[in-house]
Structure 1
Amino acid sequence: MKVVGIIAEYNPFHKGHAYQIRYAKERLGADYVIVAMSGPFTQRGTPALFDKYSRAGHALACGADLVLELPVVYATASAQVFATGGVALLQNAGLVDTLLFGSECPDLAALKNIADRLSEESPAYQALLRQALQGGSSYAAARAKAIENPAYAEILAQPNNILAIEYLGALSRLDSSMTPLCLQRQGAGYHETSLDEDMASASGIRHFLADHPQMSDQELALLLDQIPEALHASVKELIHDGQFLFADDTSLLLHYALTETQDFTEIADSNFDISNKILQNRHLFASFHSFCQLLKSKDLAYSRISRVLCHILLDIKKQDMLLPNDTCPLDAKELAPYLRILGFSDNGRPLLKQIKKNGTVPLITSPQNAKGLLSPEAMHLLDKDIFASDVYRMMLSNKTGQFFPNEYTRKFS
């Protein structure tokens, strides 16, 4: 039995994602594809465009067999934390033999060399990294400068390459038996916002929807052309009903959260300087996006601010992100202590029995049965997922005027 694992956001699911799943099934001969997918919030620190159950259903309709939720503390984190959580989750299923990920660079050996170089963190590398950071470079740009190899620096300038390198690093740190395999990214670039390409990026689709809140039939057809045909009816319904969220839909709840404390130092991704900057400027808050723009500077990237604000909204603290380090290594079971099902296909149904047999952590079908299966530490992590889903549900209800079931009554796909 061949089982391929994919770590994804599907924000939203598009033709490039469908291509990756087809590649796993048709070219790699996968019997099953298991996806570790972000839930209600994403790595950018913003809510996912569509709710997690719709996105899981879209993946299943396009060939995935089982979709598991990546805990929100990892889903909203930096690339290294995101990758480590995703790898741990798939490893704990006990069935995945291949980790398939997209990258701009198709050279797996080069990606591995960079991952190994970064993991060494020699004194010379650390000194160059500090120098670049002090010079105002973002962490990603500083790391590219510190590696002192023009070809590698070019690879590190691409977002999917960065994630690919972090997946390789996570596989090594967790001593995983999964075999890595990279698939060169097809179509538009990660940050490309145009829909002109045959395979537009998720960013392009989100920007198009944001720029066309009242779409004509022609504009809707243009957007749907970037979505697999099997999903057209679902996506049209979601758009028609207004069931989609953007960063600024968090503004009201975030503004309230910003007034509730006098110290954001212990918030994940924050520090003393960021906390003070937020406190000094929160009286100028108007919206999520405008506040990020206000706070960003040459040494504080928009993406970092966005994640900090998301973590304030969701009350995710540094202590909630359990990561391996030199003094206190953690194994995959501690990092991802449960497998939360978002949906499975008819073909994927046998996977549930196999995971119960071979998996290393409990398989959770509903929060209702979790307390008897999970440790207090694992329940704390699950409670963060439930709270994040409740926040998303509240924002969606406020926007649409519709009722949406909570995590205890919602059925998975």
Structure 2
Amino acid sequence: MKTYGIICEYNPFHNGHIYQIEETKKQTGATHIVAIMSGNYVQRGEPALMDKFKRAEIAVKNGVDLVIEMPVQYCLANAELFARCGVMLLGSLRCVEGISFGSESGSIDQLKECADAVMAVTTPENLKPLLEQGMPFPDAIHQLVTYKYGPLVGDVLNSPNNILAVEYLKSLKILGLMDKIQPFTVKREGAAHDGEEHSGNIASGEYIRRLIDDGEDFSAFVPKDTADAINEYDDKELLCWFENFERILMYRLRTISPQELATVPDVGQGLENRIFQAARMSGTLEQLLNAIKVKRYPMARIKRILLNTLFGIKSEDLKAPPMYGRILALNDRGTEILKMAGSLPEDKFSIPFSSSLKDFVDSNKENPRAMRSIGMTTVSSDIYTLGARNIRPSGMDFTAKIAYEKLEGFVSELPADLKTTAHAGTVEQVNKERAAEAAAKKAAEEAKKDDSAEESKEN
């Protein structure tokens, strides 16, 4: 058993993701794949097209074995904190041997060199003069790395996937996990992350979302499960778009003070006043975004700030590590990952994992930080249901059923007497649910037979 992790968003799950999973297994010998996936919101500061439960279900039907949710406050954080949370969650399983990520570079050595360079130049004395000139933080880092280590190293930071890859490597090093979790990169070919390009049957998520929004055919770039789900959600008007949050965002921004805005992640240097004024001068979401945007603040950062404001997420919330791991979907191999994790000694990264949010609520009532994290998740999920044309009921975090994919001919390689401490609850819960479903199905079939027999007698 060899488990590799992927930190992802799957918005939507497409052929490029399948390629990454297949290459990871082929090149590393990985037998099990665990995904740390963004929930209902993604790092570019927008809602995911489909809810987290449906996206996780599609993932376990197409090569992923276990999907764990990244808490919303980290989904809507900068690249550094997004990566840090994902790596922490992989480390908390204790049985993950490697992490796989895409990059334009394709060279772990080159990415490691760049990560070391970024860590070396990221000091207050280096950054302060550049930031005071109004230079965006990523540009300041790029300039410092290029100046000290040369353009070959600095140019690595010109590509979006390379930037995330560098953040994963930094996190592994800072958390002391580099020797436990081996990094592996799949070179991205053709379609760039969030670009308009496509090559063969592989396209970026941005390109696919654009096709969906324009009502054009996107099926060549995604597996059938994704195409079917998106078409179903589209027919039912359940696809979620950022523009649909226009009124609720304007309401929130017009009822909050500049002082409150200043507590939101990534707000600084007077940006709270700019947002406060823009919300009162703008009549549409587009006008609002354009009124706030300046060179120093990329649009993704502004959108993250707006959503964090809407959900009441504060800078303080990003100082706490993830308090629990919410399981969104799994298959038979996924239960093996949980059993193996539960059999290992606990360490500083250990946290509980479960598919039931109610379990976390019941066991953390005396833990304010955990309860706050749960609260941010449920509030953001309830607001997510307002982001489609067809509004859905709230409470999905407590009512949605996790997907369990039964693998045909599956035979576990784990010892039958493997002793587990944590995580076993989810496996038992899934087994109970499957048994209950089987019993209900059998009862329905028996009832149908009885009805048929009665009809035959009457005739």
Distance apart, 1:25 and its partner CA: 2.5
- Partner in structure 1 of residue 329 of structure 2: 343
Distance apart, 1:145 and its partner CA: 0.8
- Partner in structure 2 of residue 141 of structure 1: 139
In the comparison of the two structures, how many residue pairs are matched?
Answer: 390
- Partner in structure 2 of residue 270 of structure 1: 267
Partners of 1:195 and 1:21 lie apart in 2 by: 19
TM-score (normalised: structure 1) = 0.89
**Stretch deviating more after TM superposition (198-207 or 287-296):** 287-296
**Stretch deviating more after TM superposition (296-305 or 270-279):** 296-305
Unaligned runs of 5+ in 2: 404-459
Alignment of 1:162 with 2:152, yes or no, is no
- Partner in structure 2 of residue 409 of structure 1: 399
Mapping of residues 40-59 of structure 1, within 5 Å: 40-59=40-59
- Partner in structure 1 of residue 202 of structure 2: 199
Q: Are the aligned partners of 1:193 and 1:201 in contact in 2 as well (CA < 8 Å)?
A: yes
Alignment of 1:319 with 2:308, yes or no, is no
Partners of 1:269 and 1:244 lie apart in 2 by: 28
Partners of 2:157 and 2:318 lie apart in 1 by: 25
The one-letter amino acid of 2:400's match is R
- Partner in structure 2 of residue 235 of structure 1: 230
Alignment of 1:152 with 2:144, yes or no, is no
Q: Are the aligned partners of 1:269 and 1:304 in contact in 2 as well (CA < 8 Å)?
A: yes
Q: SS of the residue aligned with 2:4?
A: strand
Partners of 1:384 and 1:47 lie apart in 2 by: 15
Q: Deviations over 1:276-296 (max 9, x none)?
A: 101122112334343222211
Distance apart, 1:11 and its partner CA: 1.1
Aligned-pair identity in percent equals 31
Q: Are the aligned partners of 1:355 and 1:363 in contact in 2 as well (CA < 8 Å)?
A: no
The one-letter amino acid of 1:78's match is N
Alignment of 1:363 with 2:353, yes or no, is yes
- Partner in structure 2 of residue 182 of structure 1: 185
Q: 1:302 aligns with which of 287, 299, 304?
A: 299
Partners of 1:403 and 1:122 lie apart in 2 by: 45
Mapping of residues 62-73 of structure 1, within 5 Å: 62-73=62-73
- Partner in structure 2 of residue 391 of structure 1: 383
Q: SS of the residue aligned with 2:94?
A: coil
Q: Are the aligned partners of 2:42 and 2:48 in contact in 1 as well (CA < 8 Å)?
A: yes
Partners of 1:287 and 1:341 lie apart in 2 by: 37
Q: Deviations over 1:39-59 (max 9, x none)?
A: 011111111111111111111
- Partner in structure 1 of residue 419 of structure 2: none
Distance apart, 1:63 and its partner CA: 0.6
Q: SS of the residue aligned with 1:109?
A: helix
User: Could you list the runs of 4 or more consecutive aligned residues of structure 1 that deviate by over 4 angstroms after TM superposition?
Assistant: 194-197, 401-405
Q: Are the aligned partners of 2:3 and 2:337 in contact in 1 as well (CA < 8 Å)?
A: no
Distance apart, 1:180 and its partner CA: 1.0
Partners of 1:67 and 1:372 lie apart in 2 by: 22
Q: Point out the structure with max Rg over C-alpha.
A: 2
Partners of 2:327 and 2:312 lie apart in 1 by: 24
Partners of 2:26 and 2:133 lie apart in 1 by: 48
**Stretch deviating more after TM superposition (17-26 or 337-346):** 17-26
- Partner in structure 2 of residue 290 of structure 1: 287
**Stretch deviating more after TM superposition (295-304 or 270-279):** 295-304
Partners of 2:122 and 2:89 lie apart in 1 by: 30
Q: SS of the residue aligned with 2:41?
A: coil
Partners of 2:287 and 2:211 lie apart in 1 by: 20
- Partner in structure 1 of residue 247 of structure 2: 252
Q: 1:194 to 1:240 in 2, by over 3 A?
A: farther
Q: SS of the residue aligned with 1:371?
A: helix
- Partner in structure 1 of residue 374 of structure 2: 382
Q: Deviations over 1:55-113 (max 9, x none)?
A: 11111111100000001111111000100010001110111110111111112112111
Mapping of residues 119-138 of structure 1, within 5 Å: 119-121=119-121, 129-138=127-136
Q: Deviations over 1:305-349 (max 9, x none)?
A: 111111111111000001xxxxxxxxxxx6122110011023322
Q: 1:357 to 1:23 in 2, by over 3 A?
A: same
Q: 1:132 to 1:41 in 2, by over 3 A?
A: same
Partners of 1:316 and 1:352 lie apart in 2 by: 30
Q: SS of the residue aligned with 1:251?
A: helix
TM-score (normalised: structure 2) = 0.81
**Stretch deviating more after TM superposition (307-316 or 114-123):** 114-123
CA RMSD across the alignment: 1.9
Q: SS of the residue aligned with 1:34?
A: strand
